């Protein structure tokens, strides 16, 4: 944004310490800084080493994003903790943080110019609102999931989901006997006739809503806490795209919620080649393998990319099923995989001879830069857990998907991918919850680029890719929203300067 010299507004961005949250918030910070806003990105001491990876990119782009760390409480002595899969971190970060470390930081930053004129925080950190209120600083909630999931939590919190659904939730333990008949999602959608009716959303089955609603321990209450701050915030900044969820976002806004979609929050180099220097995603949970040389040797659209994200732990039995199917299929593949905890090395879990027999057409890695892989012309299909970041990656790059949505928001994302955007197929698990080789083969066959259904999936994926890219381009909905937010920050900075006589 031209002409912003001397108009510096200062925002503090507080991120939850997990890759799926810090990466989109880092990219959002970069977007603000490119518009002339000074950003202080705040993380926790034990997570500093991961976030610091992003500093090289910011230095190369010459953006004014500064990094600060605050104490993480009882995790200070565990600097190597993998927060992506640790439930205790989630509960502690949400419920037990007293905010004193952030308060001390805000006081220090307030002594400098320009003063802090907005605090933006991840929805998993609801206690930050108390700090913002204490200093009377405008605040924004950063929402890292879809608008659909926001709407589901919002309507349940209000008690405005259908009465039948509320009864089903509170007495869900009586339905657990059906779990063995469900598609790996807790309940059998075909046996429960009741649907979930929420304004602005398609008709949902119970297995299409976030998995916390099917947890009999009441864990859903911790997820609902994300929306405690909505009444205090001036903005809900969402990593989604208006054109993807138009009806849902319009419905949310009709409830006087200041919902601002600014996605996809990914580097600009992956959006029509804008700013080729902006390629760094942010943090990596493990050392990323370089897959480019291998992919360069494969024909266009010939590779299936398989990754189930940073959180999902795939059982040894599931690994065996996937491996047997891959071995028999003759399919080119990249498989991001880690051994289940306590199960040794991945080579010890895979079938004997698997790595040797597939070495010409397959690559097994612990981690890779997903956007690099998905944007490569040789990749034609993405087998995914359907987390929101991965879903947006696939939509932004026009890659059809095979979905296995089980945890958190994944079932809802899978519903939209398969039934609303029609860019993927849902893989159904067996009665024991394992995704069997027959189902994998069926879905890969249906989604094959030469099949009629495969062609339709790819055409749909390319259509949505263009809509997403248009939203992020000059004059697009997300681009306009980011500019408008930056202008409001400049306006608040001007008000603060006037108050202090500057």
pLDDT of residue 475: 95
Same domain, yes or no: 346 and 447: yes
**Nearest CA among 90, 98, 96 for reference residue 130:** 98
Where are the alpha helices (H) located in 111-260, listed in sequence order? Answer: 128-135, 147-158, 163-170, 220-224, 246-254
User: Is 196 a member of any domain?
Assistant: yes
Strands of the sheet containing 379-384, edge to edge, are: 362-365, 332-336, 303-307, 379-384, 401-403, 424-426
Structure tokens at 40: 């202080």
User: Is 234 a member of any domain?
Assistant: no
Q: Please state whether beta strands 116-122 and 259-261 pair in parallel, antiparallel, or not at all (unpaired).
A: unpaired
pLDDT of residue 86: 58
User: Is 426 a member of any domain?
Assistant: yes
Same domain, yes or no: 189 and 337: no
Same domain, yes or no: 487 and 395: no
Same domain, yes or no: 331 and 462: yes
User: Phi and psi at residue 444, in whole multiples of 5°?
Assistant: -65, -40
pLDDT of residue 275: 52
User: Is 149 a member of any domain?
Assistant: no
Q: Which of 220, 235, 260 is the last residue of a domain?
A: 220
For residue 205, what are the domain limits?
156-220
Same domain, yes or no: 135 and 30: yes
Q: Report the C-alpha gap between 381 and 399 in whole angstroms.
A: 6
Q: Half-sphere exposure (CA, 13 Å, Cβ side) for 147?
A: 29
| Terminal-residue alpha carbon distance, the chain | 24
User: Is 265 a member of any domain?
Assistant: no
> What is the number of structural domains in the chain?
3
pLDDT of residue 285: 65
Same domain, yes or no: 62 and 138: yes
Buried/exposed 430-451: b ≥16 CB within 10 Å, e otherwise: eeebbbbbebbeebbeebbeee
User: Phi and psi at residue 211, in whole multiples of 5°?
Assistant: -65, -20
User: Is 169 a member of any domain?
Assistant: yes
The rounded Cα 104 to chain-centroid distance in angstroms is 30
Q: Where are the beta strands (DSSP E) in 184-330?
A: 235-238, 259-261, 303-307
Same domain, yes or no: 21 and 162: no
Q: Per-10-residue mean pLDDT for the chain, 502 residues long? A: 60 90 92 94 79 71 88 57 54 70 92 88 92 95 97 84 46 36 39 73 90 73 83 96 98 96 92 65 72 94 90 77 86 86 73 89 91 94 95 97 90 97 93 84 87 94 96 96 97 81 59
CATH number at residue 313: 3.40.50.2000
Same domain, yes or no: 339 and 200: no
Same domain, yes or no: 344 and 462: yes
User: Is 286 a member of any domain?
Assistant: no
Same domain, yes or no: 55 and 198: no
In angstroms, what CA-CA distances link 180 with 36, 385, 425?
54, 20, 21
Same domain, yes or no: 458 and 487: no
Same domain, yes or no: 107 and 206: no
User: Is 228 a member of any domain?
Assistant: no
| C-beta atoms surrounding 45 within 10 Å | 16
pLDDT of residue 192: 44
């Amino acid at each position: 944004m031209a002409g912003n010299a001397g108009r510096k507004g200062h925002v503090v961005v507080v991120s939850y310490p997990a890759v799926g949250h810090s990466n989109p918030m880092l990219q959002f910070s970069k977007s603000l800084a490119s518009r002339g806003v000074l950003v202080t990105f705040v993380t926790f001491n034990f997570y500093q080493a991961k976030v610091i990876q992003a500093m090289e990119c910011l230095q190369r782009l010459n953006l004014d994003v500064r990094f600060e760390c605050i104490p993480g409480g009882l995790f200070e002595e565990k600097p190597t903790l993998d927060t992506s899969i640790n439930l205790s971190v989630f509960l502690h970060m949400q419920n037990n943080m007293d905010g004193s470390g952030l308060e001390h930081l805000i006081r220090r930053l307030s002594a400098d110019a320009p003063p802090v004129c907005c605090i933006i925080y991840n929805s998993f950190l609801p206690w930050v609102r108390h700090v913002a209120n204490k200093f009377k600083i405008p605040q924004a909630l950063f929402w890292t999931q879809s608008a659909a999931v926001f709407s589901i939590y919002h309507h349940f919190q209000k008690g405005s989901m259908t009465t039948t659904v509320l009864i089903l939730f509170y007495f869900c333990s009586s339905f657990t006997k059906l779990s063995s008949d469900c598609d790996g999602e807790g309940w059998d959608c075909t046996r429960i006739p009741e649907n979930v009716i929420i304004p602005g959303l398609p008709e949902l089955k119970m297995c299409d809503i976030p998995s916390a609603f099917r947890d009999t321990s009441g864990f859903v209450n911790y997820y609902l806490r994300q929306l405690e701050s909505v009444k205090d915030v001036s903005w809900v900044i969402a990593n989604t795209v208006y054109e993807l969820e138009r009806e849902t976002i319009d419905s949310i806004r009709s409830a006087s919620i200041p919902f601002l979609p600014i996605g996809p929050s990914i580097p600009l180099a992956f959006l029509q080649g804008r700013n080729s220097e902006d390629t760094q995603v942010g943090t990596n949970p493990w050392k990323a393998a370089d897959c480019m040389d291998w992919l360069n040797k494969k024909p266009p659209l010939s590779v299936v990319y398989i990754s189930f994200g940073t959180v999902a732990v795939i059982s040894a039995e599931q690994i065996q099923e996937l491996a047997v199917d891959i071995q028999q299929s003759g399919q080119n593949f990249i498989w991001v995989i880690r051994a289940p905890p306590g199960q040794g090395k991945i080579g010890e879990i895979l079938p004997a001879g698997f790595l040797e027999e597939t070495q010409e057409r397959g690559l097994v890695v612990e981690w890779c830069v997903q956007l690099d892989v998905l944007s490569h012309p040789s990749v034609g299909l993405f087998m995914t857990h359907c987390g929101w970041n991965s879903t947006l990656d696939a939509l932004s790059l026009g890659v059809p998907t095979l979905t296995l949505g089980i945890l958190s928001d994944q079932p809802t994302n899978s519903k939209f991918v398969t039934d609303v955007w029609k860019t993927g197929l849902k893989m159904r698990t067996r009665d024991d919850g394992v995704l069997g080789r027959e189902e994998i083969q069926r879905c890969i066959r249906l989604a094959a680029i030469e099949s009629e259904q495969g062609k339709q999936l790819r055409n749909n994926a390319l259509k949505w890719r263009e809509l997403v890219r248009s939203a992020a381009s000059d004059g697009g909905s997300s681009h306009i929203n980011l500019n408008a937010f930056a202008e409001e920050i400049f306006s608040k900075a001007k008000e603060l300067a006037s108050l202090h006589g500057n």
